Amino acid sequence: MITFQGEINMMVTLRKLVPADAEELLKLQHQLDEESTFMLLEPDERQSGLQQVREMIINFTETETSTLIGAEADGMLVGYISVRGGSVRRNRHSAYIVIGILKQYQGVGIGTGLCREMETWASGSSIVRLELTVMTHNQSALALYAKSGFTIEGTRVKSLKIGGQWVDEYYMSKIIE
């Protein structure tokens, strides 16, 4: 667990999520689905219930190539980063990242903190490659990932369709030395 001072005079705590956090994580995911077009799911698409989220958290805690880190501020969960490692010998060294931060808590250092905690965790595990996708027009996420050492490997053309419009995504990665 790490606590730091956010850029706008707020205390932020980063910690691994546990099964008791399932209700708050599900609430956060629903809120992110509502307020952001940068997340994969639209507001009415999330089908997971409380028990499924609890089981997902348990799976993350029991798998040595995965982690789930939450960011708390103002007494609530305001962001998270999930790192899911490969499940077979040929890809166990690689992990896929998803990050979500509530809009009002973006731009204050939480994303940087989550990425730093993820990299610290990855350095102590068997993970060598971190990878993610990001919409090409998501400038704030691109800046965060570039600052965190990720590089663009390629473009996934017409990867998503949002509001009737095609959206391209960059495929980005970072190698942990």
What does the pLDDT look like over 80-89, one tens digit per residue?
999 999 989 9
Number of structural domains in the chain:
1
> Would you say residue 38 lies in a domain?
yes
- pLDDT tens for each residue of 3-60: 555 556 779 999 999 999 999 999 999 999 889 878 877 777 777 788 999 999 999 9
Kindly tell me the burial class for residue 40, based on how many C-beta atoms sit within 10 Å of its own C-beta (0-12, 13-18, 19 or more).
Answer: exposed
- Average the pLDDT over 152-177 and give the result: 96
Whether 176 has a pLDDT exceeding 90, the answer reads yes
Domain of 111, CATH number, reads 3.40.630.30
> Rounded to an integer, what distance in angstroms lies between the CA atom of residue 27 and that of residue 49?
10
d(CA 162, CA 164): 5
pTM above 0.95, yes or no: no
Residue 150 lies in a domain: no
